[in-house]
Amino acid sequence: MSGMAEIVGWEGRFFEDFTVGDVYRHPLGRSLTETDNIWFTLLTQNTNPIHFDNEYAKGTAFGKVLVNSCLTLALVTGQSVTDISQNVLANLSWTDVMLPHPVFVGDTIHSRSTVLSTRESAKRREAGIVEVSTEGFNQHGDVVITFRRTVMVYKRAFRPGVAVPATS
């Protein structure tokens, strides 16, 4: 394979790559299934039958099973990793979580994040602090979740090493 160029794949953003006001439309959407909702509900020991009992859910204001809101939070956070926290040293906080529209089995969720602030870490020279606002929306464009998230992100020069042999 001599003469072929090796192209490094997307490695995510480092602290110095974030600019206040930038908006990242996260690339992957996800359609939620009944299995996703039931497994997540069981894993988290959530006993509210609105997440797994069709007959119970018919008698609620929504008339059908709701997707567990913590699954929505986890999914939208996960969708943002490729753009926000691929190079995170630590998650510091999730705040101001709002759920303005219900999520149902079969909904497809997409998300985007806006950079609100960046600053050097006072305690760790190898990282900086980035705050973003993230929103998730369904296939109809309804915003289903919003939250603020603060992460400590490595600076490029301090990223943990990954040994990958060069092609020759």
pLDDT digits (tens, 9 = 90+) for 27-48: 999 999 999 999 999 999 999 9
Q: What is the pLDDT of residue 53?
A: 94
| Overall average pLDDT of the 55-81 stretch | 97
Greatest Cα-to-Cα distance within the chain, rounded to the nearest angstrom: 67
Q: Identify the bridge partners of residue 25 per DSSP, sorted by sequence position.
A: 112
Q: Which two tokens stand for residue 68?
A: 């567990």
List of residues 6+ apart from 122 with CB closer than 8 A: none
The sign of the dihedral angle between the CA atoms of 89, 93, 96, 100 is: positive
Q: What is the pLDDT of residue 162?
A: 57
The sign of the dihedral angle between the CA atoms of 66, 112, 92, 14 is: positive
Cβ atoms of 148 and 116 closer than 8 Å: yes
Q: Considering only 9-13, 76-80, 125-129, which range has the smallest mean pLDDT?
A: 9-13
Which domains can be identified in the chain, with CATH numbers?
15-158 (3.10.129.10)
